[in-house]
Structure formats: C-alpha cells, structure tokens
Amino acid sequence: MWFQHLHKAAGTYVIRRAQANGEKFWPNHENGNPVSNGKVIPLWEMESRELTSFIDECEEQGVTFVACEWGGPDYETLANDERVTMLTCLRDPIKRLVSNFNYDHYWMWTKATSYQEYIAEGHLHSSPEYYTKIFARGELDSNKAKANIDLFDYVIVAEDGMAALDELGWAKESDTTHPTFGDSKRAMILFVKLRWFRLFNYLKKKKFQPPSELKIEESNQGDLQIYNSLRE
C-alpha cells in the first residue's frame, strides 16, 4: 500500500488505522515515512528505476505500507507496478489550509503570526495550490495533477467518510484523529512556555481564519477544481 499523505487531510488517521490493522511499516519510519540514517528517504526525488528498486526492497523486507508526505513520487511507475496499491485522502483545500495554520500556530511549529507570514515561509504544505503541486510533482498544472490522481486505486474525500478503508480489510479503528484542539499535553506546553494568550485561545478552541484580502480561494483555484471534480 502506497499512501500519499496530505497534511491535515486525515492522513495521520489513515496511517494509524493501517498500523492498527497489522500493516507492516518500514523498519525506521516517521509517521509511516521511511527513514534511513536519521532522515526521511526522499521517495519523491527517485527516478523510475530507483523507485522500483525501493519497492523491491519493501517486498524483501515484508513492508506492506509506505507513506509519502513531503513530495509527489513518480506516480506512473507506482501505477504500473502490480505490487503497489495507491491510496490518498483529500479534504476541502481551504479548510485544510485553515486547519494547517491553526495546528502549526498552537503547536508552535511556525513562528508566523498571520496567514501572510505563514504562506511566505515557503513550505510546500502551506503554499497555494498544495494539492496541484503534490500531484503534478511541483508543477502548477491541474490537468497533470488530475491525471496522476486518476492513477490511484483509492481516492478518499474526507468529508464523504472513510468507507474505502473498510474495503482494504482495515476493520479496526484508528486510535486517533489527530485534531488541532483538545490535547492536554499541548495545553500544558503552552502553559509552561508562558504563552498565556495562545493558551487562552487554545482552550476556547479559537480557529483563526484567513483575511478576505488574502483571497485564498483565488490563489487555490487549481486545488478547488481538483477537489470539486472528486465530489461530482
């Protein structure tokens, strides 16, 4: 199973559910992403032959589940390999960005204090047209992105439920939904670090929204087209 993990689109839920149902991960991994020498293996940078060799190694080690989170791999090579089943999960791209900002803000993964600063940091998962870039492998080409999504065996839209995971035989539930709010450890860390205002907002479950002048919808037209096409 090859899982294209998209940030804040129920990806960790899928990974934990795979784990709960006995899928075997790479010996060293970070949330399903294979790790070697302390670093995530850059699967998205591999040429076709190298990617096939990696799949060979997975087969030899009995690995049955691989997550790829930090870029788009050679989707055609994966689709043409009969040993590979391809799975991904998307959600509304605007809601995903809002969730990602609030998660990074409260968990202090970002120093940005506004959406403008957050986007300007230049990280792939917080950039406009995130889905398009992942599935078109760095290009702003929504048609290419859609064509690569069509190669997947299972494409889940989170808002429509996770029934596809039942088809994989994953009967056991995941142990987490990885939400932004409601984590007592996170609240305690904010308390210890004296982030009183942030802690107050966290306990009130205050969700920060992007300002209208940022025109988030306009800058994510490709992603919205992809998402809406999956719900037709």
**pTM, full prediction:** 0.90
Backbone φ, ψ for residue 19 (5° rounding): -65, -40
Distance (Å, whole) CA 169 – CA 122: 38
Structure tokens, 50:
């190298």
Q: What is the pLDDT of residue 177?
A: 58
**CA 202 – CA 16 distance, rounded (Å):** 25
DSSP 12-67: HHHHHHHHHTTPPPPSSEETTEEEETTEE--GGG--HHHHHHHHHHHHHHT---EE
- pLDDT number for residue 199: 66
How much is the pLDDT for 226? 98
What residue has token string 């689109």? 9
CA proximity to 40, closest of 29, 25, 50 = 29
Task: Quickly count: other Cβ atoms within 10 Å of residue 22's Cβ.
Answer: 11
What per-residue string of b and e applies to 187-224 under the rule 16 or more CB within 10 Å gives b? Answer: eeebeeeeeeebbebbeeeeeeebeeeeebeeebebbb
Q: What is the pLDDT of residue 138?
A: 95
Residue 107's pLDDT is what? Answer: 78
Give residue limits of the domains in the chain: 2-230
Per-residue pLDDT of the chain (232 residues; tens, 9 = 90+): 999 999 999 999 999 999 999 999 999 999 999 999 999 999 999 999 999 999 999 999 999 999 999 999 999 999 999 999 999 999 999 999 999 999 888 777 789 999 999 999 999 999 999 999 999 999 999 999 999 999 999 999 999 999 999 999 999 887 665 666 667 776 677 676 666 566 656 676 778 899 999 999 999 999 999 999 998 7
From the options 3.30.70, 3.40.50, 3.30.1380, 3.10.310, give the CATH code of 2-230: 3.40.50
